[in-house]
A = this chain, B = another copy of it.
Amino acid sequence: MTKYQNQTRLLVAVDCIVFGFDGQHLKILLIKRGFEPKRNHWSLMGGFIEPNESADKAAIRILKRLTGLDGVYLEQFHTFSEPDRDPIERTLSIAYFALIDIHQYEKQISDEYHPEWFPLNKEPDLIFDHQQMVAMAKAKLRYKAALHPLLLELLPPKFTLPLLQNLFEDVYETTFDKRNFSRKILSTSLLLKQKDKDKSNSRKGAFYYKLDKKHYQKNFHKFLHFIPNPNGLV
């Protein structure tokens, strides 16, 4: 059979909002766009979807090219389709956000893009509708991380409770009581206390914890309450 007649065909891109946490602040990774229009303006990392490549595959490819990382948390969150969002030619963008351990990230992998980490709310001006994408990604992260242990994806394999609390406090721009915070986090049975401590921030040192992968899937929905566990998938 032949193709669909008389229909418009569009360019389709994927853009990635890459989140990282340096111990102090939640940050996103931006690059300097390498081609016209808007060459050398700050931008999200993205690229056109290739023939025979799904959007998920494209996002994985682009993330790998930017960070050198594979198998990190990556989630499609919205497709942007305003006709004039790209001034050169109509282009759809399927937006993803990624949560990576900032220490795994290797800058030199993508030096050609001049990538830099920016704290949220302190990003430079971005091209097209990328500002809106960042805002929506941040909103989605805050929403979902309030219900699921998502922020653990931003931490190294071994981390301390004070570090985790710093992360939550930065993401939600607030402070938490230490006692209540640790009680709530530990009640999820998601963390395994280690024998060793991180001594870099205090004399006493803070115990390391690891993610308990056995309980991770099972307790991912732990926080919901109207319906105990509505079901998988978001």
Contacts and interface: CB of A to CB of B under 8 A. Distances in A.
Interface of A: 1-4, 7-12, 36-37, 48-56, 76, 78-79, 81-83, 87-92, 94, 136, 139-140, 142-143, 145-147, 172, 184, 223-227, 230-234
Given A1-B88, A2-B88, A55-B81, 6 more contacts: A7-B48, A9-B12, A12-B92, A54-B83, A143-B230, A147-B224
Given A11-B9, A81-B49, A140-B233, A4 B88 contact: yes
Nearest to A143: B230
Given A83-B52, A83-B53, A226-B184, A143 B11 contact: no
Copies in the complex: 2
Most chain B C-beta atoms within 10 Å of own C-beta, residue among A79, A89, A90, A91: A79
A89 B87 CA distance: 27
A76 B56 CA distance: 17
Nearest to A7: B48
A147 B12 CA distance: 33
A233 B8 contact: no
A147 B234 CA distance: 12
